[in-house]
Amino acid sequence: MTGTAKRIIDALIDQKAQGDKTIEKNLRVKLILGGIMVDKLTESTPDNPALINKIRNVAIGYGVNINDLAEVSL
């Protein structure tokens, strides 16, 4: 499967920012500072279990429902 990381990040940002562009940019910067190169991930990026796990841990840190993100990724 490909693109799971991008879909999870998009879902995380949508759920947490709720359309607020400032929060969206802030989340993207925090992900980048955490070692997740958000802008390099595409729908054709091969799935990397370590990266997906890292993104899910960030989501947990933000209090985002992981079950919702799991549905996006599977």
pLDDT of amino acid 74: 43
Region 48-67: mean pLDDT is 86
pLDDT of amino acid 37: 93
Q: How many residues are present in the chain? A: 74
Cα 16 to Cα 10: distance, rounded to the nearest angstrom:
10
Region 44-63: mean pLDDT is 90
Region 29-54: mean pLDDT is 92
Tokens of 52: 């997906």
pLDDT of amino acid 73: 46
